[in-house]
């Protein structure tokens, strides 16, 4: 069984239209289970452990990432060859290759190294420092914990991450308090930030556009390579749903 860890609801909806409970394993047919864990390393580790104990023999970290390389743009797909958490953790290159072979040629796919951060990076300086210290091309919050659980269990692991924010643009730190663990937003808090001019409307629109572009990429992966993730057609996102996102 494939166990998929996803932090945010907007990521999970690229896999299934079901409303998922936070912090619980949900079976998608006989060969796949998904766990919506909320953002962060500890939540992801708990999800990966729960999936492995629940019978998962492969673990997937699925969602968005931030660019650490200036050539990466929103919508680019990162299928890393290793995960960096202070030390290198392996990725199943065989599974990675099978997924990539099923993807349409118009998707831009990047390999290399994916770094894990314990916090959301909110500036170019932070991203540049992490890039220089790790050699990674992208960063997320959860993949390192999932990769660690997989490595300790001796089972295959793969990260599937679409770029949402380029290197030169990051979510402002003021916005972080307006985001719930599952990625949903506190609209009243966002309105307050706009009124206080702590966040600009143009920033919110740019963030939304990047996220939408990343989600389109993730949905495309599920549509074309879902079979490699154990996702059955009745759960996979359709082309119509991709176009509507």
User: 109-131: b or e for each residue (b if 16 or more CB lie within 10 Å)?
Assistant: ebebbbbbbeebbbeeebbeebb
Distance CA 48, CA 32 (A): 13
Domain that holds residue 239: 2-244
- CATH at 115: 3.40.50.1580
Neighbouring residues of 184: CB distance < 8 A, sequence distance ≥ 6: 8, 9
Neighbouring residues of 153: CB distance < 8 A, sequence distance ≥ 6: 52
How many Cβ atoms sit within 10 Å of the Cβ of residue 69? Answer: 17
Tally of structural domains, the chain? 1
Label residue 51 by pLDDT band (50, 70, 90): very high
The SS3 call for residue 10 is helix
* Distance of alpha carbon 65 from the chain centroid: 6
Residue 222 dihedral angles phi and psi, to the nearest 5°: -65, -40
75-104: pLDDT as tens digits: 999 999 999 999 999 999 999 999 999 999
138-196: pLDDT as tens digits: 999 999 999 999 999 999 999 999 999 999 998 888 888 888 888 888 899 999 989 98
* Distance of alpha carbon 159 from the chain centroid: 8
Distances (CA, A) of 110 to 3, 107, 189: 23, 10, 36
Distance CA 240, CA 245 (A): 9
110-142: pLDDT as tens digits: 999 999 999 999 999 999 999 999 999 999 999
């Amino acid at each position: 069984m494939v166990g998929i860890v996803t932090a945010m609801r907007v990521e999970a909806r690229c896999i299934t239209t079901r409303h998922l409970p936070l912090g619980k394993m949900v079976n998608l047919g006989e060969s796949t289970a998904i766990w919506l864990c909320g953002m962060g390393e500890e939540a992801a580790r708990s999800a990966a452990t729960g999936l492995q104990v629940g019978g998962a023999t492969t673990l997937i970290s699925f969602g968005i990432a931030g660019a650490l390389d200036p050539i990466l743009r929103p919508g680019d797909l990162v299928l890393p060859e290793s995960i960096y958490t202070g030390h290198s953790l392996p990725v199943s290159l065989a599974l990675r290759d099978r997924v990539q072979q099923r993807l349409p040629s118009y998707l831009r796919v990047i390999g290399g190294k994916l770094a894990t951060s314990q916090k959301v990076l909110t500036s170019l300086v932070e991203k540049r420092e992490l890039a220089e210290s790790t050699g990674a091309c992208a960063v997320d919050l959860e993949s390192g914990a999932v990769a660690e659980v997989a490595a300790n269990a001796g089972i295959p692991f793969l990260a599937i991450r679409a770029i949402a924010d380029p290197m030169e643009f990051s979510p402002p730190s003021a916005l972080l308090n307006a985001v719930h663990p599952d990625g949903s937003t506190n609209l009243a808090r966002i309105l307050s930030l706009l009124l206080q001019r702590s966040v600009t409307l143009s920033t919110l629109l740019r963030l939304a556009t990047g996220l939408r572009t990343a989600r389109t990429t993730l949905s495309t992966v599920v549509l074309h390579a879902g079979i490699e993730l154990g996702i059955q057609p009745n759960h996979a996102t359709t082309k119509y749903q991709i176009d509507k996102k």
